[in-house]
Amino acid sequence: MFKDLIKLDRLPTSWCPGCGLGQIMIQLAMVMDGLGLNHTNSTVISGVGCTGRLAGYMNVDGIYTLHGRTLPVAEAVKLVSPDLKVIVVSGDGDLASIGGNHLLHAARRNPDLTVLCNNNNVYGLTGGQAGPTTPRNTKTVSTPAGATYDPVNLQNLMKAGARYFYAKTTVYHQLHLRNCIKEAIAWPGFAFVDITCHCIENNGRRLGFNSAYEMLQHFRRTYKRAPDGAETLGPDEIGIVRQG
Amino acid sequence: MTLQKVKGTPVALEGDRAVAEAMRQMNPDVVAAYPITPQTEIVMRFSDFVASGEVETEFIPVESEHASMSACIGACAAGGRVQTASAGAGIALMWEVLWVASGSRLPIVMHVVNRSLSAPLNIHCDHSDSMGMRDAGWIQLYDEDVQEVYDNAIQVVRIAEHPDVLLPALHALDGFILGHSVERLELLPDEAVQEFIGTYTSAYPLLDVDHPVTYGPMDLQDYFFEHKRQQAEAMVHALDVVAQVGDEYGQLTGRYHGLIEGYRLEDADYVTVALGSTVGTAKTAVDQMRDEGIKVGLLKVRCFRPFPATAVARALGDKKAIAVLDRSLSFGAQVNPLCLEVIAALSTHGFAPKLVNYVYGLGGRDTVPAQICDIYQELIRIDSDGITGPILRYVAVRD
Ligand SMILES: Cc1ncc(C[n+]2csc(CCOP(=O)(O)OP(=O)(O)O)c2C)c(N)n1
Ligand code: SF4
């Protein structure tokens, strides 16, 4: 049962009602359950942030690292215990901002890690400030007049090396999300899953969405599956690009 | 110079908002910061001022604290008046850059909202972050209440930029306890703040093409030591400057802040020494004990770096028993940062009163007057038995 992978006695979670993080956790648990991954053979490593809490709710051993230091910690766990399935779950701020340097170098070294990036376009936990993934002109608590810079292009970053696995998906597209997680876990190298997710409380409402449902519908309307064999995903496409 | 007293406007604000208001009034050239609880409120509020054009500040939304302090270095070396705010792990991440700020004699100001350091993860108050940087060459003031948060936020700018000092400076407010608590305070008019801090003219800005400068170049066995010695001297000068700026600010506001402040101290036999918001808690305990006719008192240390050793020794030398309260742990040390300074001050001035060190409130553990009353009772016992017992003790912690 996938529920065995979640600490049910810790529910309800500290996440806001409607937050997409619950979907990511459930899909991860379902995939792990299907693959026979559990506390005997897997670990979930997380950084600090709303996403970081996910590791604490999973019924496997884990490390709650410092904000930004998630990847080197996970890489070292994998080095010391190569038989362990090491899954990293962290925020876009944690991975691409304060931990951005580690992201470049972890991708370059290509360790066998699965990285689930909760891409909610803001620093959720600290209140919804603009971060590395915030689209230009977005109004956030730290950019009331609109974000000044273009966001980092995670796909291009991941494809900078000779070997890569980059999946883009959303929490609306649950089967797609599940499949991306499954493929990423099967990938024998650094697999990065960029999950578009809604932070309704600290981002969505400010953008004019009244509910998490409205944000999910927005994802449904916006994102389309990339054609089979696509080598690059367009800005509104979901899919997987990889090179081994 | 004597300043005319001006009328303040009473408001109710949290400590973080009081800092943001002071920053708005000071209108620094550059603010570079990264969000971290419990400091985020400051930068968020300040972002509103940037967006609405109420300040002319360049706000740099950096990708980490390592970057924020680095950006402060660049902006300050270029000749700007520069500020940042941080807490806990954010300050730890700044570590190597903090030393560059002081070693380059850049008067950067940091508003520190005290938070404990990981691991385990905890967002609540203790002083591990600012005490962790006590040797980094930064001036350190500690705030007792939200009014003092505001007052110190303004004064540190004058202190840091004083030509006899030219050192980075911070003031520290207890995370949540002051940062997120609403208190009544008085704000100065904007013009009064601007007049008080004046304009900042860097003595050695970049791009003064007739006087080219390099910040932070290689400095080996030949002169490195002399430069460090100069930094130490600047800290000594800062003692007078902190007092003088506090005096001028007092003329302006009627609120005089010194290096240290005694509370019912003069005739007291039993004394606690504290800094930060616990000073307010201890005052309540002092009043309660005094009501029972027990001669207790309190010494507040407002300025921790530079440490006002002579003033502290004079205030404490004749006391029967002293408890120094520390909100951080220096693992393996005999006593903790504040206590270490107090003992050194007493012993170098020829005093040896009975003294103990209490560690309290780590990770935001509540500290209440009753606990401090217990400490006074213990001081009375120590005095009457003549047995001090272990010097290092803990308040309200499970064994
Ligand atoms: C060194 C350091 N700086 C700042 C913080 C404060 N902080 C905690 S979580 C976070 C950002 C969270 O954003 P993200 O990583 O995108 O995760 P989310 O909360 O959106 O899931 C920040 C800035 C910290 N814990 N440590
Ligand atoms: S703040 Fe945003 S990301 Fe965090 S739990 Fe709430 S909705 Fe989710």
pLDDT tens, residue by residue, B231-254: 999 999 999 999 999 999 999 999
Instruction: Choose from B16, B31, B39, B40 for mutation: most chain A CBs within 10 A.
Output: B40
Domain holding A148, by residue range, is 2-6+15-243
Instruction: Give me the residue from B37, B44, B121 closest to A142, CB to CB.
Output: B44
Kindly determine whether residue B44 and residue A98, on different chains, have CB atoms separated by under 8 Å.
no
CA of A71 to the centre of ligand 2 (A): 22
- Residue A160's pLDDT is 95
CB of A19 shorter than 6 A to ligand 2:
yes
Residue B2: predicted pLDDT: 83
pTM reported for the whole predicted model: 0.97
Return phi, psi of residue A18, to 5°. Answer: 90, -10
Is A199 in the B-facing interface, judged by CB distances under 8 Å?
no
Closest CA to B365 of B285, B278, B301, B272: B278
Identify the residue whose tokens are 């956790």: A25
CATH number at residue A181: 3.40.50.970
**Which of A142, A149, A202 to probe the B interface (max B CBs under 10 A)?**
A142
Domains in chain B: ranges and CATH: 9-253 (3.40.50.970), 260-394 (3.40.50.920)
Query: In the prediction, which pLDDT does B258 show?
Result: 96
The amino acid present at B191, given as its one-letter code, is E
Using left for φ > 0, alpha for ψ between -120 and 50, and beta otherwise, residue B318 falls in alpha
Q: Is A200 in the pocket of ligand 2 (CB under 6 A)?
A: yes
CA A200 / ligand 2 centre spacing (Å): 7
For residue B387, which phi and psi values (nearest 5 degrees)?
-110, 115
All residue ranges of chain A with pLDDT < 70 are: none
The whole-angstrom separation of Cα A93 and Cα A198 is: 14
d(CA B24, CA B187): 12
Q: Is the dihedral of CA A37, A40, A41, A46 positive or negative?
A: positive
As a whole number of angstroms, the distance between CA A74 and CA A182 comes to 19
Tokens read off for B284: 């309540």
Cα nearest neighbour of A66 on chain B: B118
How far is it, in rounded angstroms, from Cα B279 to Cα B300?
6
Strands B109-114, B58-61: pairing is unpaired
Q: Is B121 left (phi over 0), alpha (psi -120 to 50) or beta?
A: beta
Chain B residues touching residue A144 (CB < 8 angstroms): 47-48, 51-52
Separation between Cα atoms, residue B393 and residue A184, nearest integer Å: 52
Residues in chain B: 399
- Average pLDDT per run of 10 along chain B, which is 399 residues long? 90 98 98 97 96 97 97 97 98 98 98 97 98 98 98 98 98 98 98 98 93 94 97 98 98 97 98 98 98 98 98 98 98 98 98 98 98 98 95 96
**Total number of domains constituting chain A:** 1
**Do the beta carbons of residue B142 and residue B113 sit within 8 Å?**
no
The shortest C-alpha distance from B324 to chain A (Å) reads 32
| B189, B181 contact by CB (below 8 A) | no
**Cross-strand pairs, B276:** none
Find the angle CA(B142)-CA(B353)-CA(B129) to the nearest 5 degrees: 25
Instruction: Extract the tokens encoding B138.
Output: 């930064």
Complex confidence, ipTM: 0.95
A130/B contact by beta carbon, under 8 A: yes
* A98 neighbourhood in chain B, CB within 8 Å: 34, 63-64, 93
- Residue written as tokens 């591990």? B128
pLDDT value for B120: 95
The residue among A224, A193, A165 whose CA lies nearest residue A51 is: A193
Instruction: Name the closest-CA residue to atom 6, ligand 2.
Output: A16
Ligand 2 atom nearest to A14, measured from its CA = 5
Residue A94 Cβ inside 6 Å of ligand 1? The answer reads yes
Identity of the amino acid at A180: C
